[in-house]
Chains A and B, each alone.
Chain A
Amino acid sequence: MKKRISKKITIPKKQLNASQVQLLHSNRIHTLGLIAAGVVHELNNPMMGILNFAQYCLLHTPENDKRYPVLQDIERTTNRCIQIVQHLLSVSRIESIEDEPFVKGKIDSIIHMVLQLLSYTIIKQHVTVSQSIEDNLPDIHFRRGGIQQLVFNLILIALDVVRNIEKKEIHIHINKNEITIQMIIACTGSRITFENTRRQFNSFGSSEMIEKEVNLRLSVCQSIVQMHGGDMSIEHKSNCTQFTILLPVKQGEKK
């Protein structure tokens, strides 16, 4: 009798601890997001200054002056920073995907944005990213922040998969038919090492928590796909891992 009672109490307590850890972790991530959003916001004013100062100097520098191309570089680079900041801002604004309105847009623009945000990690890890995206993809109705989070999470997981193998390749494929858009994120390797995730969250917890975090990420991805009326599958083969996402072209209009 004692044993049975003890068992009954122990199981919920474990679950409670896991939930508390997850809640604490989510809260920390949320706080980090808010801080990042604040910093990113504040960067807009100085970047507006740099852009306009460079443009003013360009206007008053002859084109044959050797400083002219340098000023053009400043202008170009600042515009690139502005674009990155806008991307970061759009990611940091994701507070509740469920409250986010559906908008009309193209999914390939999100792929481009996420790859740009992760470009440092991709280059540093010597990963080759290739894309085959069909021309003239239709606009779909989606929750932009949700789909950003989906692509971000899947590429981050793919980067973990390729981390410790020799041939580091990620391929992104998008094609369409009349009713669905199919997005495939495939990578070489089949074992998740959690290294990128660990680096990203290393201030927050143990490797056990990190593994949970990856599972949570996959679960979030699944929810995002479902809320768009789509379907997601994961396929592990001996030497590759493939995430396949099917999104209906029209279903997203429904909330």
Chain B
Amino acid sequence: MTRKILVIDDDMAVRKSFILAFEGTDYQVDVAESGMKGIKMHHHVSYDLIFLDLKMSELNGVETLRKLRKIDPVVPIYIITSFHEEFFDQLKDTENEGIDFQVLRKPLSRDQILLITQGVLKGAVAY
């Protein structure tokens, strides 16, 4: 069965990086350029793994994470960011509320993207 991955990031370079990294693999990758769009997409498709940017206009990553968790408490969500220190307090609050997520630091290479995905979707986090 094809595993489905959603990438939510408002930067084209990042979305395209994920698309290219997964090309030729067994994974299906979809991308969303905003938090709202990503939430709608997950509502309809139900993804197996979500990569989520933190610093986005309109709905930021933390707000998007909260809304995603309301509709899906279990899907693995990896926040990918260069701004984890700036959002530290918000992320800490979210963690204290019992909302589950992981944080990865940008930039990610192709190998890192694939390694993380394989690790998460095979049940063992390899990165």
Name the one of B85, B107, B111 contacting A47, with C-beta atoms under 8 angstroms.
B107
Assess whether A44 is in contact with B109, with CB atoms less than 8 Å apart.
no
Contacts of B11 in A (CB 8 A): 45-46, 49
Assess whether B107 is in contact with A53, with CB atoms less than 8 Å apart.
no
Chain A nearest CB from B26 CB (Å) reads 16
Assess whether A93 is in contact with B85, with CB atoms less than 8 Å apart.
yes
**Is B14 part of the binding interface, using a Cβ–Cβ cutoff of 8 Å?**
yes
Assess whether B16 is in contact with A49, with CB atoms less than 8 Å apart.
yes
Closest to A50 in B: B13
Contacts of B12 in A (CB 8 A): 49
Which parts of A36-95 form the interface with B (CB within 8 Å)?
Answer: 41, 44-53, 55-56, 59, 82, 89, 93
Q: CA–CA, A129 to B107, complex, Å?
A: 31
Known interface pairs A48-B13, A49-B16. Does A41 touch B109 (Cβ–Cβ under 8 Å)?
Answer: no
Assess whether B13 is in contact with A45, with CB atoms less than 8 Å apart.
yes
**Is B108 part of the binding interface, using a Cβ–Cβ cutoff of 8 Å?**
yes
Contacts of B108 in A (CB 8 A): 48
Chain B nearest CB from A75 CB (Å) reads 9
**Is B94 part of the binding interface, using a Cβ–Cβ cutoff of 8 Å?**
no
Contacts of A55 in B (CB 8 A): 20-21, 109-111
How many residues in B have their beta carbons less than 8 Å from beta carbons of A? 20
Assess whether A53 is in contact with B109, with CB atoms less than 8 Å apart.
no
Assess whether B106 is in contact with A52, with CB atoms less than 8 Å apart.
no
**Is B17 part of the binding interface, using a Cβ–Cβ cutoff of 8 Å?**
yes
Closest to A48 in B: B107
Assess whether B107 is in contact with A51, with CB atoms less than 8 Å apart.
yes
Assess whether B17 is in contact with A49, with CB atoms less than 8 Å apart.
yes
How many residues in A have their beta carbons less than 8 Å from beta carbons of B? 17
Assess whether A52 is in contact with B82, with CB atoms less than 8 Å apart.
no
Contacts of B58 in A (CB 8 A): none
Contacts of B89 in A (CB 8 A): none
Assess whether A45 is in contact with B16, with CB atoms less than 8 Å apart.
no
Name the one of A52, A82, A89, A93 contacting B17, with C-beta atoms under 8 angstroms.
A52
Assess whether A44 is in contact with B106, with CB atoms less than 8 Å apart.
yes
Contacts of B113 in A (CB 8 A): 52
Closest to B13 in A: A49
Q: CA–CA, A49 to B111, complex, Å?
A: 14
Q: CA–CA, A53 to B14, complex, Å?
A: 10
Known interface pairs A49-B14, A93-B85. Does A44 touch B107 (Cβ–Cβ under 8 Å)?
Answer: yes
CB 8 Å contact bits of B69-113 with A (1 = contact, 0 = none): 000000000000011010000000000000000000011111101
Chain B nearest CB from A155 CB (Å) reads 26
Which positions in B face A, CB cutoff 8 Å? 11-14, 16-18, 20-21, 23, 82-83, 85, 106-111, 113
List 14 additional A-B contacts (Cβ < 8 Å) besides A44-B82, A52-B113, A59-B110.
Answer: A41-B82, A45-B82, A46-B13, A48-B14, A49-B11, A50-B13, A51-B107, A52-B18, A52-B110, A53-B20, A55-B21, A55-B111, A56-B110, A93-B85
User: What are 14 A-B pairs at a CB distance below 8 A?
Assistant: A41-B82, A41-B83, A44-B82, A46-B11, A48-B13, A48-B14, A48-B107, A51-B109, A52-B18, A52-B21, A53-B16, A55-B21, A56-B23, A93-B85
